[in-house]
């Protein structure tokens, strides 16, 4: 009879522990926003706007920069949102993280190119400061996203 009570007690403990873990897991998952498309991600929206703004910023660069700075900064800035979109479409967390890290690298590359463009006199201080501040926001958002997936 004592063995039956111990077995019942263990079963009850295991059942309660299992129910509590499942309940807590479900509650935590319900707190996270669910995005159906990468375009809904605030970080993608910020990154896409940066690419659009950099395109406009580079419209009047000298023709000699068409295959230099103009091309490079446009590609790196667009690569931020492209990699976020690709990461969103991946199934596993390690794959997602890989593309979000690529996006972070592209953000730093675009920031460096903005600084260069400013130093050689192509871009005004105010525009560079605004864009680098927004790039920093994207990098911080990507860091949080990456941390949530690890």
Reported as a single tens digit per residue, the pLDDT across 26-73 is 445 555 578 899 999 999 999 999 999 999 999 999 999 999 999 999
Q: Which of 56, 58, 110, 65 is nearest to 83 (CA)?
A: 110
Share of the chain above pLDDT 70, in %: 79
pTM equals 0.77
| Residues 38, 115: Cα–Cα separation, whole Å | 29
User: Do residues 50 and 110 lie in contact, with contact meaning Cβ atoms separated by under 8 Å?
Assistant: yes
Tokens of residue 70, six digits: 């103009």
H helix or E strand, kind and range, residue 144? helix 125-149
* Greater pLDDT, 26 or 107: 107
User: Do residues 51 and 117 lie in contact, with contact meaning Cβ atoms separated by under 8 Å?
Assistant: no
pLDDT at 136: 98
| Residues 119, 69: Cα–Cα separation, whole Å | 13
Q: Which of 91, 102, 86, 85 is nearest to 149 (CA)?
A: 91
pLDDT at 24: 47
Buried-exposed string 105-128: b where 16+ CB fall within 10 A, e elsewhere: bbbebbbebbeebbeeebbeeebb
- pLDDT-derived band at 17 (thresholds 50, 70, 90) equals very low
pLDDT at 34: 85
């Amino acid at each position: 009879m004592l063995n039956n009570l111990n077995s019942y007690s263990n079963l009850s403990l295991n059942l309660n522990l299992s129910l509590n873990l499942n309940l807590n897991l479900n509650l935590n998952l319900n707190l996270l926003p669910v995005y159906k498309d990468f375009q809904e991600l605030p970080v993608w929206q910020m990154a896409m706007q940066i690419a659009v703004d950099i395109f406009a910023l580079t419209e009047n660069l000298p023709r000699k920069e068409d295959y230099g700075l103009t091309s490079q900064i446009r590609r790196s800035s667009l690569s931020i949102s492209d990699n976020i979109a690709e990461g969103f479409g991946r199934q596993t967390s390690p794959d997602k993280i890989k593309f979000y890290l690529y996006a972070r690298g592209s953000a730093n590359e675009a920031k460096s190119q903005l600084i260069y463009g400013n130093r050689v006199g192509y871009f005004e201080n105010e525009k560079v400061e605004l864009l680098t501040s927004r790039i920093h926001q994207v990098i911080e958002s990507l860091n949080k996203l990456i941390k949530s997936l690890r």
